[in-house]
Amino acid sequence: MTINPNKYLQLFFPQANTKRTKEIFTVNPTVIPERKEAKDVHIYVFEYSATEIREYTFARVEECFSFKSSDNISWINIDGLRKADVEAICRQYNIHYLFMEDILSVGQRAKMDEMDEGLFCLLNMLFFNEKVLAVEQEQISIVLGKNFVITFQEDPKRDVFDLVRSKLKASGTKLRQSGADYLCYSLIDMIVDHYFVVMEKLSERIELLEEDIIRYGNARSLARINNLRKELIVLKRNVLPVRELVNGFIRSDSELLDEKTTKYFKDVYDHTIQASDLVENYRDMMVNLQDLYLNKVNMKMNEVMKVMAIVTCLLAPATVIGGIFGMNFERIPILHNKYGFYIAVALMLLIPVWMIRQFKRRGWF
């Protein structure tokens, strides 16, 4: 007979999300997951300088090949990944085959590396789904070259770069005055800053959960604790490696990185440290909430046992008196007294009342 633990987990804890557990912990780097080809591919290009900016929208990757030789700064953003398109643009921009595999991969750890003619980094954007109360991630790959930045995204419907686009469209901004390395910094900075938005959402859930445990502390509270701990694992898995990624830009000797821009990367590095500390704090808070839940359960159990013990003690005199007068002896004091029954009942009532007064005087309840 095969026992399915998930069945019993769902029976006792209806909110336990075992499917989410499988998604989080089923990670095998030796097995290459298959990425589904995107149905729609959207290519957005910003070509700009300090004085002018042009925005393009293409449907084919071949249309953005000419920006490699442009004197202006170009940001090529590819939303939706197809193997043929990625291979074509990687050949045109001399992106190494190993990095092309990373772009097409799924579930990669955040990292940064140097190419022959540029820099490559890969990390995840994080979003909080209010409907399912889960942290969702989207992999993004960034290639920095001379006068261009190429970004590869999975989902064309969302990203965190709206503020970058607004700064590009506004004249006189620091972004318009700087090179491609500053654009790369801005994109990474936006991703890291959005981590704090997700953590703020989780913080709100933790506060609500704490109030729920203090008020009720039932089995559903335990299920919510487990669900939140899973989301913190997702958060930790994505935030901590970004520190090494940003540190790679700081230590890089690439000519593509200006010394002034490196200082901005140090600011992002500080943000990643702060985000990592917050993740650890949230983890400690979840441990404390679990301890709070267990203490609440123990307190309830103690209250129940206390009431049961008091009731047992109060019924003990009646049990003793009833047992004495129920013995089969010929001679028992006041056995044949016409008031014997009333005397026995009175003792059964008066003794528990006296015991209650003594318990209260001693502060036992």
pLDDT tens digits along 301-349: 888 888 888 889 888 988 888 888 778 777 777 777 788 888 888 988 9
How far is residue 97's CA from residue 9's CA, in Å, rounded to a whole number? 45
pLDDT tens digits along 263-286: 999 999 999 999 999 999 999 999
pLDDT at 307: 86
Based on the fold, state whether residues 291 and 304 are members of the same structural domain. no
pLDDT at 4: 52
- The answer as to whether 16 is a domain residue is no
Nearest one of 277, 265, 267 to 239, comparing CA atoms: 277
CATH for 351? 1.20.58
How far is residue 168's CA from residue 146's CA, in Å, rounded to a whole number? 18
Nearest one of 60, 66, 67 to 40, comparing CA atoms: 60
Question: What band does 17 get if pLDDT is binned at 50, 70 and 90?
Answer: low
pLDDT at 184: 95
Q: Which of 276, 296, 316 is the last residue of a domain?
A: 296
Nearest one of 216, 172, 214 to 53, comparing CA atoms: 172
pLDDT at 5: 45
pLDDT at 202: 92
pLDDT at 46: 94
- Whether 30 has a pLDDT exceeding 70, the answer reads no
Q: How many domains does the chain have?
A: 2
Residues 6+ apart with CB under 8 A from 184: 119, 142, 144, 149
pLDDT tens digits along 37-54: 878 888 999 999 999 999
- Whether 31 has a pLDDT exceeding 60, the answer reads no
Amino acid at 33: P
Based on the fold, state whether residues 213 and 310 are members of the same structural domain. no
Helix/strand number for the chain, H first, E second: 10, 7
Q: Which domain holds residue 348?
A: 299-361
> Taking residues 56-67, what's their average pLDDT?
90
What mean pLDDT is reported for the chain? Answer: 86
Based on the fold, state whether residues 317 and 217 are members of the same structural domain. no
Predicted TM-score (pTM) of the model is 0.80
Based on the fold, state whether residues 84 and 150 are members of the same structural domain. yes
Q: Phi and psi of 182, rounded to 5°?
A: -70, -35
pLDDT tens digits along 150-193: 999 988 788 899 999 999 999 889 999 999 999 999 999 999 99
- The answer as to whether 5 is a domain residue is no
Q: Is the Cβ–Cβ distance between 206 and 286 less than 8 Å?
A: yes
Q: Which residues of 77-96 are buried (b: 16+ CB within 10 A; e: fewer)?
A: bbbbbbeebbbebbeebebb
Least confident among 14-28, 103-117, 167-181, 253-267: 14-28
The pLDDT > 90 percentage for the chain reads 42
How far is residue 12's CA from residue 33's CA, in Å, rounded to a whole number? 34
pLDDT at 14: 45
Q: Which of 296, 312, 331 is the last residue of a domain?
A: 296
- The answer as to whether 29 is a domain residue is no
Instruction: Report the DSSP pairing between strands 119-129 and 134-145.
Output: antiparallel
Q: Which of 281, 296, 311 is the last residue of a domain?
A: 296
Based on the fold, state whether residues 261 and 303 are members of the same structural domain. no
- The answer as to whether 30 is a domain residue is no
- Classify 150 as helix, strand or coil: strand
